[in-house]
Amino acid sequence: MNILVCISSVPDTTAKITFKDDNTTFNKDGVTHIIGPYDDYALARAIELKEELGGTVTVLNVGTAETEPQIRKALAIGADEAIRVDAEPTDSFFVAEQIAAVAKENSYDLIMMGRETTDYNSGVVHGIVGQLLGMPSLSPVMELNIDGNTAKISREIEGGKEKLEATLPLILGCQEPIAEWKIASMRGIMTARKKPLNVRPAVGEGLTSVSSYSLPPEKGDCKMIPAEEAEKLIDLLQNEAKVL
Partner 1 sequence: MSVLIFAELEEGKIKKTSLEAIYYGSKVAEMTGGETVVLAIGEADSAELETAGAYGAVKVMHAGGQELKEANIVAYADTLTSAATQIGAKVIVTAKSSLADAVTARTAGALKAGVAGNVTELPDLSNGFEVIRSVFTGKAFAKTSINSEVKVLAIKKNAITPEISGNKAAVEDFMAPVSEEAGKAKVIKTLKETGTVSLPEADLVVSGGRGMKGPEHWQPLLDLAEALGATTACSKPVSDMDWRPHHEHVGQTGVKIAPNLYIACGISGAIQHLAGVNSSKVIVVINTDPEAPFFKAADYGIVGDAFEVLPKLTAAVKALK
Instruction: Find the shortest distance in angstroms from Cβ 27 to partner 1.
Output: 11
What is the rounded (10 degree) CA torsion for 33, 204, 173, 194? -50
Instruction: Specify the amino acid at residue 200.
Output: R
Span 161-200, contacts to partner 1 by CB under 8 A: 161-167, 170, 173, 175-177
145 binds partner 1 (CB under 8 A): no
Q: Which of 48, 86, 109, 156 binds partner 1 (CB under 8 A)?
A: 156
What is the rounded (10 degree) CA torsion for 214, 37, 46, 102? 20
Cβ(84)–Cβ(199) below 8 Å: yes
Q: Which of 21, 105, 187, 219 binds partner 1 (CB under 8 A)?
A: 219
Number of Cβ within 10 Å of residue 227's Cβ equals 6
Instruction: Find the shortest distance in angstroms from Cβ 146 to partner 1.
Output: 14
71-96 residues labelled b (16+ CB within 10 A) or e (exposed): bbbbbbbbbbebbbbebebebbebbb
Instruction: Find the shortest distance in angstroms from Cβ 51 to partner 1.
Output: 23
Q: Which of 127, 188, 191, 195 binds partner 1 (CB under 8 A)?
A: 127
Stretch that binds partner 1, among 64-72, 76-84, 138-146, 192-200 (CB under 8 A): 138-146
Q: Which of 116, 146, 179, 192 binds partner 1 (CB under 8 A)?
A: 116
20 binds partner 1 (CB under 8 A): no
* Choice between 101 and 197, CB closer to partner 1: 101
217 binds partner 1 (CB under 8 A): no
- Binding residue count for partner 1, defined by CB under 8 A: 84
162-191 residues labelled b (16+ CB within 10 A) or e (exposed): eeeebeebbbbbbbbebbeebebeeebeee
Cβ(111)–Cβ(60) below 8 Å: no
* Choice between 58 and 117, CB closer to partner 1: 117
